[in-house]
Structure 1
Amino acid sequence: MNYYNLLLLFLLYWLFVMFLDRRGILSKYNITAYGPILMVRTQKGQRLLDKLAVHKSFWRIFANIGLPAMLIGMLVMFLLILFVDFALIRSFQTQTIPPPTRINEPRNFFLIPGINEYIPFEWGVIALIVTLIVHEFSHAILCKVEGIRVKSMGILLAVIPIGGFAEPDEDQLLGKKEEKNEKEPEPAPPKKVATRGERVRVLTAGVMANFATAFVAFILFFSLLGSISPVGEVMVTSVIPGHPADAAGVKPNMIITQLNDKQVNSAEEFMIYMNTLQPGSKITLNVIENRERKVIDLVTTSDNSTYQGIKVYDVVPGSPAEAAGIKPDMVLVRVNNTEIRGLDDFVSFMNSTEPGQKIDVYVLSNNSANASTEVFKNIELTSYPYDKNAKKGFLGISYAPDTGAVSYSSGIGVGQFQAKSFLNMLESIPSLLNRVEGWVYLFSLPIYGFTGNGFPGFSGLMTYFYEPVGWAAPFGNGIFWVLNILMWVGWMNFYVGLFNCLPAVPLDGGHVFRDVMTSSLSRIIGNGEKAEKITNAVVILFAVLILMSLVFVAFAPYAAHGF
């Protein structure tokens, strides 16, 4: 479905919401419409909140821990925004601003499954629901702990859930006073107004709950990675019609594990072995199709030619490869004087390079026998963008399972996915969290991954390369579902928690920043009213600055390169 159809459906939905609102049907069910956004309230769950709030000491300690966590997150996020702004301004000055990418698209600024293209819909919906529940329930529980009335709870809907809320009594929480009509009867006894400490605990509880949920989810995710194991790394990427493999039933996406009882560890090994066979040789393939092991026999033909190299799957924006003109679907066959027969050759060569080194890259325009060779000379390698400690040079191309070679004697095209290395890289992330690079990997995993393509979880072709082992074997595909849910629950809670730390009202971090700053200034200048005025001005300034920064980051590449 294209964007125009989606826009039409959304407009029809909006008209339907307006119709229900004007008829009073929404208010009848305690639903408020703000344009196309529905605020669905409920009074249910109050007894559950009362039961959960019984352990007051625990919840107060939990929320108190959240204050330093929020202040650290606030500082990190604010410095990150300033750093990005500074980098973009410098790029404008040097005319090196990168072209727009998917990251700059407004829809990818929101963590809404089905709109954000990096978030898989099914896992994203589950993660979003969990994130909203733990965040808003924590606010509500702390309100109960501090004796603040929770008027309602609910969700925000715009066709799908986009947010949640716990609606405390603002008179009590924020000290807001409602305007009274002179003709109204005498008001009831004044309500309790939360102290600054109580208010901060309520506000930090949501962020702390998100961080705690992310922490638990990530611990489980990285622990459960040990329950899956690579089954092989060589995949059938193509089958030539009319050739022996086609007649024998070999199909794309099969994983080749053995060839004539010889373990197949790489696409290069497969091609070398196939080159040694005489016409008419009988071969036996051990393959895995949809996690089912099969044995296939076939006989080679007289055509024993091969096509080798690695196919460029994607080019990292702003990389030396992009600057040189290398494009996806080109086939890299040689670097300097090194022939690239497979991924092992390419990885081995790149491991021997260093930042600043210049190389010549030879590519084919496609994988046909008559493809012409193109040379990109004097490409200067840079250092790795996410690992400043890496000694090798960075070119900026990524490859995928469709990378590889074709054996025409069998009619099989094979490619290699570094399943073992990829799993090892995922497992190594926790050990890197004592450095900034580790947090960058974790935070950008779904967007950049390890090669610039992003890691959406164990789904699609990727699951073909792994199988559950040990205690997880009876669960079959279920272990991948668990891993995906844990990864997205952890990532979304981590992201939402950090975002809410920003010192901008109406985010939780904005309210906490205002309280902390007012308290600090009052001690310094000794005038609470003056401190509050200064704080309010600073909070407004920060909110405007952060909003303008986000807009600048989103539209700066378009301003430089055109929409």
Structure 2
Amino acid sequence: MNTLLWVLVGVLVYSLVAKALQIRGYLPDSVRLQGPIATIHTRRGRALLTRLARPKRFWRAYSNVGVGVALVIMAGMFVLLLFQAVTILRNPPAPSAVNQPQNFLVVPGVNDFLPLAVAPEIVFGLLVGLVVHEGGHGLLCRVEDIDIDSMGLVLLAIIPLGAFVEPDEESQRTADRGGRTRMFAAGVTNNFVLTAVAFALLFGPVIGAVGVAPGVAVDGAYEGSPAATAGVANGDRITAVGDTAVGSESDLDAALLAAENRTVEVEVDGDRTVRVERSLVIVGSVAGNPANLSVESGEDPIRVTAVNGTPVDTRGEFRDATADREVARIETTAGDAVVPVGAYVTRAAPDGPLANASAPTNASMIVTEIDGKRVTSSGDLARVLDEYEAGDRVPVRAHVDGEFETYDVRLGENPRDGRGFLGVDIFPGTSGLLVTDFGVRDYPAGTYLELLGGDGGSGSATPFPGLTDSPLSLVYVALILPLASFVLGIPNFPGFTPAVTNFYVVEGPLAPLGDGVFILANVLFWAAWVNLQLGLFNCIPGYPLDGGRILRMGTEAVVSRLPVGDPERLVRTVTTGIGLTMLASLLLMIFGPQLLS
């Protein structure tokens, strides 16, 4: 059974046991059950809220700002959800990890993007969010002289699901409409303020205290690769190859190419040495590659044994064997193939430099030479282009649909470093095959740090220039980092988990905290992330969410000025119609891809 089914079974068992305990009188009166939902009620804390509410003018001004923000977000949420629902109905997306129903739950271990490693931080963020949300309602109740019957927590089984403040119904009815609106908006206002404070601390002093540790961060080794056989694994940092220090993936690539011996000594974490017996293997492939070879994730790699009959064990030997041959016979354990050897273009931008030189944008293309310089791989292509500036004209030779063509290209400007740019996406490796004599996947430690507003290090060049130029863009990036594989094309970032803290160092004034800085960063990251989600969700204009209650107050205010005979009926019709539309849109977002595709 899958994880979600186990969770549902657990919730059912919990509900039956809890109901049995309630029937037998073992649960106190303060605990009330409705299926798997339990509410814990208390009257404590009302005196504290009354004292905090004394500067009433300040709290009313604060909440009036919150009402304005909530109204704008409510309108945005209505348009967004409605647009998403219409889009799903017209063109249902294929089911994917992003739109699986369990991934709409903020439950670590159940949601594929919220790992158990950061469950404490997520739960803490959720609890804080619920407390400040309902605390805002309670505080504004006292500001507006609305009595409070009780306060407490809402639990789904043993998981905190929400908090609540129960205003006295009679007292609430006698309060003016503006006071009730401010009271309903206070919860989401507090969530947004907490989000802003947490992000300000995260992007400021906390991330500023984190730097990238020296070396190449290893996200893992390909199954069956030389590195995996030698014991190099996730969490390691490669700091040197032989006597050559490495600080980036390009440094590691250059050091391995320069190493002449098949066996190399690799320094890991700066304090241990691993001997790697290199062999040339194919650990990945792109569909439609000219060798017609396929390597799927998790499969053993294909061994490359020779090029045109010459044995090869390293990429340096492979490059030498193909330096004067644009077409070569590649001999592998999966069979032989005659292929053009070069950098495989997966996409040429329609308005890019190569396309502007009349190169096709929808054809199979392998770049083999630039300005007379041989290109045998994606690495060669990057190194050659680094020798040119934007605006330089160079001849580019490529194998296109079975023929060699030469294009006169005026290079564009690379947005990362300002160097020459072809305007193409390249599959790593050679001729659509990821060929390696080492076999590690690097972890983009510097990229993540830059995306959070930090310093990615001198060897880091973010693939997303300009994405973090403003505070709002930093917030956007932080929100999508747990889904980075779908939005940015890099591995998902759950925070500074124990598996990745070896890739970073703590420096500056916060250095005495040591690894506590990573814990603080995780707490701030997830507190901000969860609170923003809580605030946005509660702004959906549908009952019983705060957005639905604010919608009712606003509708009553408008209808009261209209010459209608039954204003209450019109208010009920408008709010119910919008609420049902929002509910249908949410259900389509959650279940539509599975039911309609």
TM-score of the aligned structures, taking structure 1 as reference length: 0.73
> What is the DSSP-based 3-state SS (H/G/I as helix, E as strand, rest coil) of the residue aligned with 1:49?
helix
Whole-Å separation in 2 of the counterparts to 1:228 and 1:154: 38
Partner of 1:423: 449
Per-residue deviation, 1:494: 0.9
Asked if structure 2 preserves the Cα contact closer than 8 Å seen for 1:336 and 1:360, the reply is: no
- Post-superposition Cα deviations, 1:44-86, rounded to whole Å, max 9, x if no partner, equal 2222212222222221111111111000110111111122123
The answer to whether the aligner puts 1:262 opposite 2:237 as a matched pair is no
Task: Assess, with a 3 A threshold, how the Cα gap between structure 1 residues 79 and 377 changes in structure 2: closer, same or farther.
Answer: farther
What amino acid sits opposite 2:586 in the alignment?
Answer: L
Whole-Å separation in 2 of the counterparts to 1:398 and 1:205: 51
What amino acid sits opposite 1:417 in the alignment?
Answer: Y
**Map of 1:219-234 to 2, 5 A cutoff?**
219-223=200-204, 224-232=206-214, 234=216
Per-residue deviation, 1:415: 2.9
Asked if structure 1 preserves the Cα contact closer than 8 Å seen for 2:188 and 2:539, the reply is: yes
What amino acid sits opposite 2:560 in the alignment?
Answer: S
What amino acid sits opposite 2:534 in the alignment?
Answer: V
Corresponding residue to 1:100 among 53, 72, 95: 95
Corresponding residue to 1:276 among 247, 251, 258: 258
Per-residue deviation, 1:213: 0.5
Task: Assess, with a 3 A threshold, how the Cα gap between structure 1 residues 232 and 338 changes in structure 2: closer, same or farther.
Answer: farther
Partner of 1:414: 440
Whole-Å separation in 1 of the counterparts to 2:340 and 2:536: 45
Asked if structure 2 preserves the Cα contact closer than 8 Å seen for 1:398 and 1:451, the reply is: no
What amino acid sits opposite 2:246 in the alignment?
Answer: V
- Post-superposition Cα deviations, 1:135-154, rounded to whole Å, max 9, x if no partner, equal 00110011111111111111
Per-residue deviation, 1:215: 0.8
Please list every run of 5 or more consecutive structure 1 residues that lacks an aligned counterpart in the other structure. 92-96, 176-192, 316-324, 363-374, 379-390
**Map of 1:14-413 to 2, 5 A cutoff?**
14-26=15-27, 28-91=28-91, 97-120=92-115, 121-157=119-155, 158-173=157-172, 175=173, 193-223=174-204, 224-232=206-214, 234-235=216-217, 237-238=220-221, 253-279=235-261, 283=265, 285-288=266-269, 293-296=270-273, 305-307=279-281, 328=297, 338-339=342-343, 357-358=361-362, 360=364, 407=437, 413=439
Please list every run of 5 or more consecutive structure 2 residues that lacks an aligned counterpart in the other structure. 288-293, 303-314, 316-325, 327-338, 367-398, 403-420, 454-465
Task: Assess, with a 3 A threshold, how the Cα gap between structure 1 residues 246 and 306 changes in structure 2: closer, same or farther.
Answer: closer
What amino acid sits opposite 1:416 in the alignment?
Answer: D
Count of residue pairs brought into register by the alignment: 478
Asked if structure 2 preserves the Cα contact closer than 8 Å seen for 1:504 and 1:510, the reply is: yes
Per-residue deviation, 1:432: 4.6
> What is the DSSP-based 3-state SS (H/G/I as helix, E as strand, rest coil) of the residue aligned with 1:32?
strand
Partner of 1:552: 588
What amino acid sits opposite 2:448 in the alignment?
Answer: F
Partner of 2:390: none
- Comparing 151-160 with 413-422, which one deviates more in the overlay? 413-422
- Post-superposition Cα deviations, 1:175-221, rounded to whole Å, max 9, x if no partner, equal 2xxxxxxxxxxxxxxxxx11001101111100100010011111111
- Post-superposition Cα deviations, 1:271-300, rounded to whole Å, max 9, x if no partner, equal 4433433449885x4432xxxx414375x7
Per-residue deviation, 1:253: 3.3
Partner of 1:178: none
Q: Percent identical across equivalent pairs?
A: 31
Asked if structure 2 preserves the Cα contact closer than 8 Å seen for 1:235 and 1:414, the reply is: no
What amino acid sits opposite 1:125 in the alignment?
Answer: V
Per-residue deviation, 1:513: 1.1
Whole-Å separation in 1 of the counterparts to 2:296 and 2:171: 60
Task: Assess, with a 3 A threshold, how the Cα gap between structure 1 residues 67 and 278 changes in structure 2: closer, same or farther.
Answer: closer
Task: Assess, with a 3 A threshold, how the Cα gap between structure 1 residues 531 and 429 changes in structure 2: closer, same or farther.
Answer: farther
Whole-Å separation in 1 of the counterparts to 2:227 and 2:538: 59
> What is the DSSP-based 3-state SS (H/G/I as helix, E as strand, rest coil) of the residue aligned with 2:112?
coil
Partner of 1:183: none
Task: Assess, with a 3 A threshold, how the Cα gap between structure 1 residues 6 and 497 changes in structure 2: closer, same or farther.
Answer: closer
What amino acid sits opposite 1:358 in the alignment?
Answer: N
> What is the DSSP-based 3-state SS (H/G/I as helix, E as strand, rest coil) of the residue aligned with 1:103?
coil
Whole-Å separation in 2 of the counterparts to 1:163 and 1:422: 31
Question: Greater helix percent: which structure?
Answer: 1
Per-residue deviation, 1:480: 1.4
Whole-Å separation in 2 of the counterparts to 1:310 and 1:359: 21
Asked if structure 2 preserves the Cα contact closer than 8 Å seen for 1:357 and 1:393, the reply is: no
Per-residue deviation, 1:310: 6.4
Partner of 1:512: 550
Whole-Å separation in 1 of the counterparts to 2:103 and 2:228: 43
- Post-superposition Cα deviations, 1:304-360, rounded to whole Å, max 9, x if no partner, equal 544477689xx9xxxxxxxxx9965689999996437xxxx9999999778993353
> What is the DSSP-based 3-state SS (H/G/I as helix, E as strand, rest coil) of the residue aligned with 1:154?
strand
What amino acid sits opposite 2:55 in the alignment?
Answer: H
> What is the DSSP-based 3-state SS (H/G/I as helix, E as strand, rest coil) of the residue aligned with 2:482?
coil
Partner of 2:456: none
Whole-Å separation in 2 of the counterparts to 1:20 and 1:430: 53
Whole-Å separation in 1 of the counterparts to 2:227 and 2:73: 60
**Map of 1:447-486 to 2, 5 A cutoff?**
447-448=483-484, 450-451=488-489, 453-486=491-524
> What is the DSSP-based 3-state SS (H/G/I as helix, E as strand, rest coil) of the residue aligned with 1:296?
strand
What amino acid sits opposite 1:24 in the alignment?
Answer: G
Whole-Å separation in 2 of the counterparts to 1:348 and 1:264: 32
Whole-Å separation in 2 of the counterparts to 1:165 and 1:37: 13
> What is the DSSP-based 3-state SS (H/G/I as helix, E as strand, rest coil) of the residue aligned with 2:441?
strand
Per-residue deviation, 1:459: 1.5
> What is the DSSP-based 3-state SS (H/G/I as helix, E as strand, rest coil) of the residue aligned with 2:523?
helix
- Comparing 462-471 with 349-358, which one deviates more in the overlay? 349-358
What amino acid sits opposite 1:339 in the alignment?
Answer: A
